Structure 1
Amino acid sequence: MARVSQAHLDARRRQILDGAAVCFARNGFHATSMQDVLKEVDLSAGAVYRYFSGKEELIGAIVGEVLGEVHAGFEEAVRSSPPPPPDVLVASVLSRVLGTKESLTVDGRPAFPRLVIQVWTETLRNDELAAVLFEGYGAVRETWARIVGAYQEAGTMRSDVSPEHVARTMMAAAMGFIAQQALFGPTPTEVLGDGLRALMSVREEADTR
């Protein structure tokens, strides 16, 4: 029997993950069965179960992959000295992540933002998925705290605010932007960058007392 190449195995795994992501984004985790996934990817049960034991493992793999991409984008920024400003950094990382998923659609609209909302909802009842999400976001938050530290060392950000607080705020901006994409439709990431840039331009009024 001919040996299957790693490239073929990787492509098949990608096919399954992408098909499952579309199914979950369309109908949610609970209303989606493995039969739905099999139909979406047009593969036999044996072909799919070779890679994933079931729906829960598929969900965990999708979540871990997305968080890994976000984390990698911010880690790349840490290696710059100083890192790009927040408006450029957040918009560019989101643009890259959304760009890798732009081929996945539900009713002509991007599937990824809808999938993210489904994931957040599922973590409220699924402890294992919540642990994956907690670990992933924890890594992103820690990276952002280091980025803020680099800003402060370079003198481009005030030093009297906790890096942890800034990290949580920037993550909230990114997560809120994704939520808006799911609720109101696609919006260019330049909108987020412009908004952050405008907020960053606000100056405290001098104390005239």
Structure 2
Amino acid sequence: MSAEDRRSKAEARCEAQRQRILRAARRCFVDSGFHAASMASIAETADMSAGLIYRYFESKNAIMLAIIQQHLDEVQADIQRLRAGKEAVASHIMERFVGWQRNQSASLEPGLFLEIVALATRDPQVADALMAADRRIHAELGDWLRRAWQAADRPLAQAEVAERVFVLRCFIEGLIVRAIKQPDAGSELLRASLERLLAHVLPVARANP
């Protein structure tokens, strides 16, 4: 095995350990809250020693910052799928909402989303990271919407793009809360609401499945 192969294997092993820790931390933060969850409980959930966790993350804050980056990566991947036309917008949002209702979403769990937002009101470092991620998501969504309307020969002014991004994000983030407060909300109600919203946000042909 070459030195490069050994290095690649070591990097892959390191990344696998990081992801294992992040999965355990997400579970602990949802179950116990950020402040009540300890590095020891994260280590126990990850089935590794606390000392090993400190090789990858210096503190709980560092873990939370990595989770925020992980969320940004997930959202960017979602936007790329929508940009490539591989997934209809309404179907994608409905799938996410059902996952949030069942706590089975591949994306950020509702409880963890609320925990991060609450922590950002008290921790400037987390607030800065969250706002930076938010700006990136906002910009990429804006670019996607602008291109979608241009492709439909109905170009929008920048202010119109910004307004649509704001409305869409308020709706989706509201669904995260709604998944907790109204876990029995049916698909027909969501679909009807989405059709009304997306008729404004996107050219209709791009909005519907």
TM range (shorter): 0.7 to 0.9
- 2:85 is aligned with 1:87: no
Letter in 2 for 1:138: R
TM-score, L = length of structure 2: 0.74
In 1, Cα distance between equivalents of 2:76 and 2:116 = 17
- 2:115 is aligned with 1:118: yes
Q: Which residue of 2 aligns with 1:167?
A: 165
* Change in CA separation of 1:72 and 1:23 when aligned onto 2, cut-off 3 Å: same
In 2, Cα distance between equivalents of 1:150 and 1:21 = 35
* Change in CA separation of 1:85 and 1:112 when aligned onto 2, cut-off 3 Å: closer
Structure 2: runs of 5+ lacking an equivalent: 1-5, 201-209
* Change in CA separation of 1:24 and 1:66 when aligned onto 2, cut-off 3 Å: same
Count how many residue pairs are aligned between Structure 1 and Structure 2.
Answer: 190
In 2, Cα distance between equivalents of 1:153 and 1:111 = 31
In 2, Cα distance between equivalents of 1:189 and 1:133 = 30
- 2:124 is aligned with 1:127: yes
In 2, Cα distance between equivalents of 1:13 and 1:190 = 39
- Asked if structure 2 preserves the Cα contact closer than 8 Å seen for 1:22 and 1:111, the reply is no
Letter in 2 for 1:68: D
- 2:114 is aligned with 1:136: no
Structure 1: runs of 5+ lacking an equivalent: 105-109, 203-209
Q: Which residue of 2 aligns with 1:53?
A: 58
Say which of 20, 23, 28 aligns to 2:25: 20
Q: Which residue of 2 aligns with 1:102?
A: 104
* Change in CA separation of 1:97 and 1:6 when aligned onto 2, cut-off 3 Å: farther
In 1, Cα distance between equivalents of 2:99 and 2:71 = 8
- Asked if structure 1 preserves the Cα contact closer than 8 Å seen for 2:97 and 2:179, the reply is no
Q: Which moved more, 1:152-161 or 1:172-181?
A: 152-161
TM-score, L = length of structure 1: 0.74
- Asked if structure 2 preserves the Cα contact closer than 8 Å seen for 1:16 and 1:48, the reply is yes
Letter in 2 for 1:177: L
Instruction: Return the structure number with greater helix share.
Output: 2
In 2, Cα distance between equivalents of 1:86 and 1:103 = 16
- Asked if structure 1 preserves the Cα contact closer than 8 Å seen for 2:99 and 2:105, the reply is no
Cα RMSD, aligned residues only: 3.4
Percent of counterpart pairs with the same letter? 23
Say which of 33, 40, 50 aligns to 1:35: 40
Q: Which residue of 1 aligns with 2:176?
A: 178
Deviation per residue, 1:81-113 (Å, 9 max, x gap) = xx9764345446x47996xx8389xxxxx9821
In 1, Cα distance between equivalents of 2:73 and 2:188 = 23
Letter in 1 for 2:170: A
- Asked if structure 2 preserves the Cα contact closer than 8 Å seen for 1:25 and 1:111, the reply is no
Q: Which residue of 2 aligns with 1:196?
A: 194
